[in-house]
Amino acid sequence: MKMKMKMNKEQVTVGLISFAHGHAYSYAKAISGRSDVVIAGFWDDHAERSRGVEEQLGMRGFDSLQALLAEDIDAVIVCSENAKHASFTRAAAAAGKHVLCEKPLGLSISEMEGMIRVCEDNGVQLMTAFPCRYIPAVEEAKKAIDRGDIGEILAIRGTNRGTMPGGWFVDPALSGGGAVLDHTVHVMDLMNWFVQSEVKDVYAEAGTLFHPELEVEDAGMVHVRFANGVVASLDPSWSRPRSFPTWGDVTMEIIGTDGIISIDAFNQKSEVYADPATKAQWFYWGDDMDAGLLDAFITAIRSGAAVPITGTDGLKSAAVALAALESARKGTPIRLEGN
C-alpha cells in the first residue's frame, strides 16, 4: 500500500464528480463557505445537468473527468448514479485523490471490494457518505449506548420511508434497485455502528405496491440477525405520498436489557401551514447532518487522520441491502458470506 495520508494542510482542494444525486448540492453548499476548503470545480457526464450547475452555483465545470483529476486537488466527492460509483472512484484513486462516495457504495460485493482495494493501493482514503451519523439524536443515542445506559442491545426497529424520487433512481440499469437498496443502507449503517457485530442472516420481502409502473421495488421489510444475537427489522420504502411535508423519515427504536432509546431523526423542525404551499411544510432547524459529514471528511483529509466512515462501512451496509434483494427474489433467508 502506498502511504499518502499525512497532509496537515491548512486548506483542502476538492472537486465534485456528478450532480446526479441531489446530495451534491447540499454537499457543495456545506463546504462552499469554509475557509479551509477550495472547490476547484466539477465534472458531470450529463451536459444539461452540467449547464444547470454552472448557472445555479456559478461553479467551474470541466470538459472531462480526466481534466478535473489532472487538477491539483486533494479529494473528490462522487455523487453520480449508483452504477457509476465504482468507475469514478477507481479513476480518482488512480489519480491520487481521496474519495467521499455517495451511498450505496457499489452494486456488488466484488465491485466494492475493488473500490476499497484500489484506494488502499494508491494510498488514498475512501469514505462512504452516511450523513445520518451526524444527526444530533443519532449522535446522542450512540453516546448513550456506549455508556451502557440501556444495557445490552437486544433488538432494533427502524424506518427509512421516503417519497418515490423518480429519474435515474427508478432505472435499474443506473440505480441497481429501488427503495430497498436506496433506503436500507442509511439505517443499516447506524445499526452496524450501534451493535458493533457482523450481520449473519438477512430475510426480506419486497414488492412494487405504491407505484405499479416502476421496474424496481418501492416497498420492503428487511429483517437481520447479528452474530451476537441482536435482531433488527427495517422498513425501507418509498411509501410517503407527495403531500408529505418532506422527503421522508428516519426513525429507530433500540431495545436494551435496561431500557429503550427512541430516535426520530428529523424531529428538530417547525411545522408550517400556509395556503400558497397547498400542503403542510417542515422547516428543519436542527444541526445540518450534511455539514457534519463534510466536516468529518475535510478534517480527516486535512489532518491526515483516518476517515470515520470507511469504504468497509459502506460495503457492510450495502451487503445487507443486496442480500435483502436476493432474499426477496428467492423467498428464503440469505447467509452473508464469511458470517
Distance separating alpha carbons of residues 221 and 266, to the nearest angstrom? 21
Global pTM reads: 0.93
pLDDT in tens, 82-125: 999 999 999 999 999 999 999 999 999 999 999 999 999 999 99
- 232 and 259 part of one domain: yes
pLDDT in tens, 27-78: 999 999 899 999 999 999 999 999 999 999 999 999 999 999 999 999 999 9
Compute φ and ψ for 7, nearest 5 degrees: -125, -60
Q: Is 48 helix (H, G, I), strand (E, B) or coil?
A: helix
- 280 and 296 part of one domain: no
Expressed as residue numbers, the domain containing 143 is: 136-286+318-335
Which of 84-93, 170-179, 209-218, 239-248 is the least confident region?
239-248
- 239 and 101 part of one domain: no
Distance separating alpha carbons of residues 205 and 324, to the nearest angstrom? 8
Separation of CA 72 from chain center: 27
Summarize the confidence of residues 277-303 as an average pLDDT. 86
Residue among 339, 181, 182, 158 at smallest CA distance from 247? 182
Q: Do the domain assignments include residue 209?
A: yes
Q: Do the domain assignments include residue 6?
A: no
- 34 and 179 part of one domain: no
Summarize the confidence of residues 263-279 as an average pLDDT. 80
- 262 and 217 part of one domain: yes
Task: Tell me how far apart the terminal alpha carbons of the chain are, to the nearest angstrom.
Answer: 27
For residue 125, what is the domain's CATH number? 3.40.50.720
Rounded to the nearest 10 degrees, the angle between the axes of helix 311-330 and helix 179-195 is: 130
Pair 45, 168: CB distance under 8 Å: no
- 142 and 96 part of one domain: no
Residue among 305, 310, 304, 336 at smallest CA distance from 323? 336
Residue carrying the nine cell digits 427504536: 253
Above 90 in pLDDT, residue 268?
no
Distance separating alpha carbons of residues 23 and 43, to the nearest angstrom? 15
pLDDT in tens, 127-136: 999 999 999 9
Number of domains in the chain: 2
Residue 64 makes CB contacts below 8 A (sequence gap 6+) with 43
Distance separating alpha carbons of residues 217 and 324, to the nearest angstrom? 12
Q: Do the domain assignments include residue 3?
A: no
Residue among 90, 98, 160 at smallest CA distance from 130? 160
Q: Do the domain assignments include residue 186?
A: yes
- pLDDT band of residue 3 (cuts 50, 70, 90) is very low
